[in-house]
């Protein structure tokens, strides 16, 4: 019998954690680490018992995948075959009262889930999203966290991709591939590297011999998030927090509508299937900032065009500085580390002190 966990909303207006506390808790719980044996992944699995009705818990899968862009763009540049991509997922068994971690390749995992008709929520860790070079120092590759969601429709599966950089992702049409400690080679492309990577994954999956269920992905505004840059003003690298936030709202409101003041927001499933991926993301941000919420509602009421919609909301994010981002991080970390989630996870992390 599960004791009900507090909702994420419960923590939004609680005392906000300062930066040092956010960094400390992130390190203690390894929330920026990808892997089925990580606290963050176990928390995502455990969240199902609180965010999803019982009949959907076995119909929506959540897992973690690590992408290496240096490999992906080498494949694109040389026309080679994409090597198997490693995925991890875990499962709590009541019989043995413990977590088991499983490892697979991405396409095999998707085949199994698709055959069951399951939705797949994928937390993506890109280990080498881009290079950061300082004069006289070794080039360092920067990691990044994104989200991919697979929902069945018309005999196939639609892929929806969310990078917290939003519309600024369109500017990232190059990839710096390190060829030595201090040198890199730049590859330039005609579209976003994120879109190219997801198109390659979908194409490779679909072109396999005997593939019965195909992935649909175009990289346009119906299946790719090109809205507000959620990290405007973020100099601390909090990208890893957004997949947790998206997983909470996606699962909690998968088949339910919700209210933001007098506005009714559609279910996660319906918003994505109808191509309203920006609305899905923006409606989540509206929960964390009053100014953003007010503009969000005004845009809907006044039927503002997409470009005006995004620009007005972007100004809210920039105006808030790091306040909005810290509020999102604070509420999410408090939610993930609450006692009701920790109680089943703690045996795997005996050194963690219950909050």
What is the residue-averaged pLDDT of the chain? 87
Determine, yes or no, domain membership for 81: yes
- Comparing 305 with 144, the larger pLDDT belongs to 144
Determine, yes or no, domain membership for 1: no
Query: Would you say 140 and 83 are in contact if contact means Cβ atoms under 8 Å apart?
Result: no
Is the pLDDT at 148 greater than 90, yes or no?
yes
10 Å Cβ neighbour count for 237? 14
Determine, yes or no, domain membership for 174: yes
Which residues, 6 or more positions from 8, have their beta carbon under 8 angstroms from its beta carbon?
A: 245, 248, 249, 252, 331, 332, 335
pLDDT mean over 63-69 = 91
Confidence of residue 336 (pLDDT cuts 50, 70, 90): very high
Determine, yes or no, domain membership for 353: no
Q: What DSSP character marks residue 354?
A: P
pLDDT tens-digit readout, 155-194? 899 999 999 999 999 999 999 877 777 777 888 999 999 9
Q: Which CA distances in Å does 143 have to 117, 124, 126, 261, 353?
A: 32, 10, 5, 37, 28
Determine, yes or no, domain membership for 316: yes
Q: What pTM was estimated for this model as a whole?
A: 0.92
Walk across the sheet containing 119-132 and list its strands: 98-105, 86-93, 60-67, 119-132, 140-153, 156-162, 215-216
Give Cα 238 distance to the centre of its chain.
Answer: 12
Separation between Cα atoms, residue 217 and residue 115, nearest integer Å: 19
pLDDT mean over 74-94 = 78
- The per-residue pLDDT for 149 is 98
Confidence of residue 78 (pLDDT cuts 50, 70, 90): confident
Domain that holds residue 71: 8-348
Determine, yes or no, domain membership for 233: yes
Query: Would you say 227 and 165 are in contact if contact means Cβ atoms under 8 Å apart?
Result: no
Is the pLDDT at 2 greater than 60, yes or no?
no
Separation between Cα atoms, residue 247 and residue 161, nearest integer Å: 13
Confidence of residue 201 (pLDDT cuts 50, 70, 90): very high
Q: Which CA distances in Å does 15 have to 102, 322, 342?
A: 37, 16, 20
- Comparing 128 with 303, the larger pLDDT belongs to 128
Determine, yes or no, domain membership for 164: yes
Q: Which residues pair with 260 in a beta bridge?
A: 263
pLDDT tens-digit readout, 243-269? 999 999 999 999 999 999 999 999 999
User: What is the total count of domains within the chain?
Assistant: 1
Separation between Cα atoms, residue 112 and residue 107, nearest integer Å: 9
Confidence of residue 1 (pLDDT cuts 50, 70, 90): very low
pLDDT tens-digit readout, 11-30? 998 788 888 889 899 988 88
Determine, yes or no, domain membership for 127: yes
Which percentage of the chain shows pLDDT scores above 90?
53
- Comparing 212 with 179, the larger pLDDT belongs to 212
């Amino acid at each position: 019998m599960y004791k009900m966990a507090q909702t994420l909303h419960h923590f939004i207006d609680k005392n906000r954690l300062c930066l040092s506390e956010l960094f400390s808790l992130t390190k203690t719980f390894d929330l920026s680490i990808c892997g089925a044996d990580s606290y963050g992944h176990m928390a995502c699995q455990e969240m199902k018992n609180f965010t999803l009705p019982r009949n959907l818990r076995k119909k929506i899968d959540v897992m973690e995948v690590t992408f290496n862009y240096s490999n992906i763009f080498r494949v694109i540049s040389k026309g080679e075959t994409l090597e198997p991509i490693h995925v991890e997922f875990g499962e709590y068994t009541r019989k043995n009262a413990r977590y088991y971690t499983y490892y697979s390749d991405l396409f095999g995992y998707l085949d199994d889930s698709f055959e069951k008709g399951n939705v797949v929520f994928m937390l993506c860790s890109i280990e080498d999203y881009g290079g950061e070079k300082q004069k006289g120092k070794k080039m360092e590759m920067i990691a990044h966290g994104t989200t991919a969601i697979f929902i069945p429709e018309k005999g196939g599966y639609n892929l929806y991709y969310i990078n917290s950089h939003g519309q600024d992702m369109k500017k990232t049409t190059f990839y710096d591939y390190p060829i030595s400690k201090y040198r890199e080679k730049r590859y330039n492309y005609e579209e976003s590297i994120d879109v190219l990577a997801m198109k390659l994954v979908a194409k490779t999956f679909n072109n396999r011999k005997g593939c019965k269920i195909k992935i649909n992905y175009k990289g346009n505004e119906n299946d790719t998030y090109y809205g507000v840059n959620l990290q405007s003003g973020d100099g601390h690298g909090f990208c890893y927090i957004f997949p947790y936030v998206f997983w909470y709202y996606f699962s909690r409101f998968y088949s339910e509508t919700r209210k933001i003041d007098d506005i009714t927001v559609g279910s996660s499933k319906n918003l994505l299937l109808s191509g309203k991926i920006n609305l899905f993301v923006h409606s989540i941000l509206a929960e964390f900032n009053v100014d953003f919420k007010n503009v969000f509602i005004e845009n809907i009421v006044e039927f503002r065009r997409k470009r005006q919609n995004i620009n007005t909301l972007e100004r809210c994010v920039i105006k808030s500085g790091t306040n909005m981002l810290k509020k999102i991080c604070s509420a999410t970390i408090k939610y993930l580390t609450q006692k009701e989630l920790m109680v089943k996870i703690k045996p795997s992390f005996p050194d963690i002190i219950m909050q």
